[in-house]
A and B are shown apart, each in its own frame.
Chain A
Amino acid sequence: MNKETLVSQVKQNLSFYNLWSDITEIQTTSFTFLQGKPKDPLTVQSTIDSTTDGISSELTKEQEQGQIPYELVYPIRLDSKLSPRDIHQLFKELEDFKGFKIEKIIAGILNDDSTIVYYNIYNGLVKPRRN
């Protein structure tokens, strides 16, 4: 499967299965990312644990205003490999592109039956969330 099919399958899944909106492709030197807005904010901040200093305060402010922040998704195939060096490179290229620090990338992992599983990759330590 070529890269375009991979990206478009993840994009379609985000758009028509997870109902994200405003999805665009971001092309850095060596990677393609998808940027979009989820239907509901991904991190629900309840009053008790509003002290999450792991997640940037900017994000919390946006949520207070009822805005949903953009999320960044990196489409990848299940049978490909992702080394710590690759992950470092992902953040580096994205930060160069955006011009600010990126806290989180979501890996959109595509399996051979079109199942897509999403995993958060954080740039450093994050305070655990309450279940």
Chain B
Amino acid sequence: MTNIIKGMSKRSSHFKDLYKWLLPIHPVTLPELIPHNPLSWIYFTYAYFTSTVSINTIHITYKDGMFVVSAPAEMKRLWCEGFFGKGVLSRSEATWFDRTSKRLGLGEFKNLTREEITALRREERKKFKKERAKLEAMQAELKKQGKVDPFVEEKLRVRELRDKELDVKDIKRETYIREEDSELLIDGKLTPLEFMELQPVEVFFLQFALGVVEVSKDGSVLSTEELFQLLTGDGGLTPSNPFLIQYIVYHYYRSSGWCARSGVKFGTDLLLYKRGPPLTHAEFAISIIPTSQTDMKFNEENAMNFIELSTISRIIGQVRKKLILTFVEIPSLENLTKAKDIKDILELYKVQEFMYRRFVPNRNRD
């Protein structure tokens, strides 16, 4: 973890502070114990008995089928400490308020949000395409007349434009205001419209595994069991419950230290980041396939055919990630009914993973 952060030379110290915690739980730091210094023993013992683990509970509201966090400080904490949740009006971190303030010319010039950087990149790419099209039109015209293409300089210029590094230092920020934006402003102040939405698996992990949240529905706080009931649905728990299978895999990767987030943009179930989205790209994409030891019909229904596999694998390959097929072996209904509590239920499931990668015999050597 520290290596990744160290590796990012420019912004390293800033990131180190901002993303100090891997999860929204903070271990107690005890003072150093020096064997030949009895004073340090006393101090250590004192600290050992007096320091308490303080957990600031994060409040989640369940409404209209969504798990919502709306206090800005709690949104920030969930994002910075483990990259949980997504701003409903942002790509990942809730940056809408910042972005919109700038767009409407209300805020000061601060750091660029990730969305703004992407927009700038697209702008540059558009410029390149326009120039390329111009050049190609001129070339086509000459070709018609049977002349040799003399545009050496122009070609170089277009190529330069293509390979241009993005310079975020001296960009001019332009305001862009629409009629719709008037409803955002009350007395010239921007209404904080954005909230954070959490995925069911994230909510349950935060509640069951970490115990750092409090989920309320219709004004009352849900217990872990009630939340589990809500997420797995009514009508009796079955071994192939979709939430349960998703959660098994989510819990599995989160507890092995990966930052797991939704993989919907790449057609998979999850994406695994070594640390988190702002620091590194996701390295792995996870597709979940439930399997059963006994029910062959179930296996057939859930198996992916090779066309589906190749579709996903090509997409994942193109974005330079690795595809992992994660098989979840489901227990029998009998064993599931025997399980006493949630922990017992989860322990009945087995996870097995395979890497799936296209191999071209006369090109790949490894």
Contacts and interface: CB of A to CB of B under 8 A. Distances in A.
Contacts of A13: 88-89
A79 to B, nearest CB: 8
B193 A16 contact: yes
Contacts of B134: 47
The residue among A17, A112, A113 with the most chain B CB atoms within 10 A of its own CB is: A113
Interface residues of B, number: 34
Interface stretch (B47-55, B147-155, B198-206): B198-206
B330 to A, nearest CB: 19
A111 to B, nearest CB: 4
B140 A48 contact: yes
Contacts, number: 70
A112 B140 contact: no
Nearest to B126: A44
B28 to A, nearest CB: 32
Contacts of A23: 180
Contact of A1 (B65, B96, B129, B130): B65
The residue among A2, A23, A44, A111 with the most chain B CB atoms within 10 A of its own CB is: A111
Interface string B82-96: 000110111000001
B89 A44 contact: no
Contacts of A15: 180
A123 interface: no
A83 interface: no
B86 A114 contact: yes
B265 A113 contact: no
A10 to B, nearest CB: 11
Nearest to A40: B126
Nearest to B135: A48
Interface in A12-57: 12-13, 15-17, 19, 21, 23, 39, 44, 46-49
Nearest to A49: B133
Contacts of B176: 19, 39
A13 B194 CA distance: 10
Interface string A95-131: 0000000000000010111110100000000000000
A2 B198 contact: no
Contacts of A44: 126, 129
Contacts of A113: 85-86, 197-199, 202, 261-262, 264
The residue among B100, B200, B262, B264 with the most chain A CB atoms within 10 A of its own CB is: B264
Given A1-B64, A5-B66, A16-B96, A112 B178 contact: no
A103 B126 CA distance: 24
Contacts of A111: 262, 264
A78 interface: yes
A63 interface: no
Contacts of A19: 176, 178
B136 interface: yes
B137 interface: yes
A21 B181 CA distance: 10
A21 B262 contact: no
B177 to A, nearest CB: 10
30 contacts: A1-B64, A1-B66, A2-B64, A5-B65, A5-B66, A12-B88, A12-B89, A13-B89, A16-B96, A16-B193, A17-B96, A21-B178, A21-B179, A39-B176, A44-B126, A44-B129, A46-B129, A46-B130, A46-B132, A47-B137, A48-B133, A78-B264, A112-B199, A112-B262, A113-B197, A113-B198, A113-B199, A114-B88, A115-B86, A117-B264
Interface of A: 1-2, 5, 9, 12-13, 15-17, 19, 21, 23, 39, 44, 46-49, 78, 109, 111-115, 117
Interface of B: 64-66, 85-86, 88-90, 96, 100, 126, 129-130, 132-134, 136-137, 140, 176, 178-180, 184, 193, 197-200, 202, 261-262, 264-265
User: Which 5 pairs between the two chains have the least Cβ-Cβ distance?
Assistant: A1-B65, A46-B133, A114-B197, A113-B199, A111-B264
Given A5-B66, A113-B197, 19 more contacts: A2-B65, A12-B89, A13-B88, A16-B100, A16-B184, A17-B89, A19-B176, A21-B179, A23-B180, A46-B129, A49-B133, A109-B264, A113-B85, A113-B199, A113-B202, A113-B261, A114-B88, A115-B86, A117-B265
